[in-house]
């Protein structure tokens, strides 16, 4: 006679299955493992303290330095959701910082709020034009996204160096410094700004039909066209949004160091952004996407960079180390890999005794 299981046990099992299948579980576990790994080498790694009215600590540094990557990856997520790619975000970062710092360096009152707002508006306005150009090339002329954005990736870096005349432009402006290097309510202002932009984007995407339309364009463009979805406007919109996010990231980066470097600012950040999107669980084939996963992926990439310096990994092997960890993360998240690994473990005998009795049990069942 079997005893029925309690309802509470069944409910707990259902909750456990839902938690195990949640798309944010593995990125969150990987981020937690990285933090605990750093804690094993440095016991004060997770400590946060207040000094001079600001929060200090490794966790705060990860958030502050990871804020630009979060924004770039945020825009990249929507582009990838439409089966596209944006390789020009690094150049947009450099152009935005160069324009803002260039305007401040020649202004009569660089420390005024009005001058800073003008510099920010100039950078965002040019970024809007750059994003619209990418969108028109992809949606209007049918150029492949990787080719269309590769044009701006190459040319944009040269434009940024032309703006700075090949020099590092330094500025002295307290309002501009606030964007990437200031603090408000004890927290870095860049972190608060990134959190607000992520929250607004998530609200608009998930509380309106826009998110579903973007997923339909990337998931099944033919079906979307048959039901009357205008993919051209949506494609232009996501590339404009990606450029604006990159411009804000460029303002943060140049503000944090009070200078603009047209050659190195935002260099290879497009690759880190793509990695963050993939690690966060969004497929490069388009369709469904996860903004929360992207944020976790960006924090994982930034934590990896911090771990490299914390563990004293030689600079020449930094990229290899990051690539190795990212491959492991992608394999851990892959349902196909986990299924094959699980079947292989199930097929492996637990002990010689169990292996020896297996044929006998098969004969008995026969």
pLDDT tens sequence across 14-39: 555 555 556 788 889 989 998 998 88
Burial (CB < 10 A; 0-12, 13-18, 19+), residue 78, is buried
pLDDT tens readout for residues 94-152: 999 999 999 999 998 989 999 999 999 999 999 999 999 999 999 989 899 999 999 99
| Strand 183-184 with 168-170, pairing | unpaired
Judge whether residue 270 has pLDDT over 60. yes
Burial annotation 42-63 (CB, 10 A radius, 16+ → b, else e): eeebeeeeeeeeebebbbbebb
Q: How confident is residue 363, by pLDDT bands cut at 50, 70 and 90?
A: very low
| Lowest mean pLDDT across 42-46, 192-196, 223-227, 326-330 | 223-227
Distance CA 337, CA 339 (A): 5
304 vs 38: CA distance, rounded Å: 10
**DSSP-H helix ranges across the chain:** 7-20, 25-41, 58-81, 89-106, 113-135, 145-163, 174-181, 189-206, 210-219, 221-226, 231-257, 269-279, 291-311, 318-333, 335-347, 352-365
pLDDT tops 90 at residue 209? no
- pLDDT for 345 equals 60
Contact 77, 145 (CB under 8 A): no
Q: pTM score, two decimals?
A: 0.85
DSSP 144-192: -HHHHHHHHHHHHHHHHHHHTTTSEEE---HHHHHHHH-EETTEEHHHH
- pLDDT reading at 182 higher than 80: yes
Find all residues with CB under 8 Å of 198, minimum gap 6, and list them. 70, 74, 291, 295
């Amino acid at each position: 006679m079997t005893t029925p299981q309690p309802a509470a046990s069944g409910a707990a099992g259902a909750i456990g299955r839902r938690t195990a299948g949640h798309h944010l579980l593995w990125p969150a576990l990987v981020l937690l493992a990285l933090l605990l790994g750093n804690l094993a080498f440095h016991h004060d790694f997770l400590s946060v303290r207040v000094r001079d009215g600001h929060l200090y600590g490794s966790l705060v540094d990860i958030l502050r330095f990871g804020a630009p990557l979060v924004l770039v990856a945020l825009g990249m997520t929507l582009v990838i959701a439409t089966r596209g790619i944006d390789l020009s975000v690094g150049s947009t970062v450099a152009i935005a910082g160069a324009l803002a710092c260039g305007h401040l360096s020649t202004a009569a009152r660089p420390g005024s709020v009005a001058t800073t707002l003008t510099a920010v508006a100039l950078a965002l306005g040019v970024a809007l034009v750059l994003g619209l150009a990418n969108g028109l090339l992809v949606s209007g002329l049918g150029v492949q996204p990787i080719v269309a954005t590769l044009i701006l990736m190459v040319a944009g870096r040269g434009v940024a160096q032309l703006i700075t005349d090949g020099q590092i432009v330094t500025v002295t402006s307290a309002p501009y410094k606030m964007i990437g290097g200031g603090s408000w309510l004890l927290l870095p202002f860049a972190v608060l700004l990134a959190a607000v932009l992520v929250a607004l984007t998530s609200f608009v995407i998930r509380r309106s039909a826009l998110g579903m339309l973007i997923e339909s364009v990337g998931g099944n463009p033919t079906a979307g066209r048959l039901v009357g979805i205008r993919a051209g406007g949506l494609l232009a919109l996501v590339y404009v949004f990606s450029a604006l996010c990159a411009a804000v990231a460029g303002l943060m980066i140049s503000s944090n160091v009070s200078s603009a470097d047209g050659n190195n600012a935002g260099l290879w950040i497009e690759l880190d952004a793509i990695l963050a999107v993939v690690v966060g669980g969004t497929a490069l084939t388009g369709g469904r996407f996860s903004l929360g996963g992207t944020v976790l992926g960006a924090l994982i990439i930034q934590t990896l960079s911090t771990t490299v310096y914390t563990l004293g990994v030689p600079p020449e092997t930094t990229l290899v180390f990051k690539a190795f960890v990212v491959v492991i993360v992608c394999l851990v998240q892959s349902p196909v890999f986990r299924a094959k690994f699980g079947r292989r473990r199930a097929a492996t005998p637990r002990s010689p005794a169990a292996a020896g009795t297996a044929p006998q049990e098969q004969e008995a069942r026969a």
